[in-house]
């Protein structure tokens, strides 16, 4: 790495994405109990609340979907793919002419 470039490094997510867990071919889907699904939803909500309210830099993700939620070995959700993210403070936001989300 040269200069003042930034780099994101993710931990290995053993259970791939929430999309794979829910929508993969039946043999590859994870059998998630409703209590586990609730735990995942609450984890996503906590992550978003942190990004919006608690983080030093307030971040709006702008592309939350099942493929952008990774699951670790204990099925804890981790929000990923901040390519469309925007800082809440107008002073530091960037201009993006692409349509947000997919």
63 belongs to the catalytic site: yes
Beta bridge mates, 79: 69
One-character DSSP codes across 46-101: HHHHIIIIISSS-EE-S---GGGEEE-TT--EEE---TT-EESSGGG-----SPP-
Choice among 63, 72, 89, 90 that is catalytic: 63
Per-position b or e across 11-43, b if 16+ CB within 10 A of its CB: eebebebbebbeeeeeeeeeebeeeeeebbeeb
Q: Which residues are catalytic?
A: 63
């Amino acid at each position: 790495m040269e200069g003042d470039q930034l780099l994101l490094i993710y931990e290995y997510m053993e259970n791939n994405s929430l999309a794979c867990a829910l929508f993969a071919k039946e043999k590859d889907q994870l059998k998630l109990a409703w209590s586990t699904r609730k735990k995942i939803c609450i984890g996503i909500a906590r992550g978003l609340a942190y990004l919006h309210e608690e983080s030093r830099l307030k971040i709006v993700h702008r592309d939350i979907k099942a493929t952008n939620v990774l699951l670790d070995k204990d099925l804890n959700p981790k929000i990923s793919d901040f390519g469309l993210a925007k800082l809440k403070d107008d002073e530091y936001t960037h201009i993006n002419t692409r349509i947000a989300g997919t």
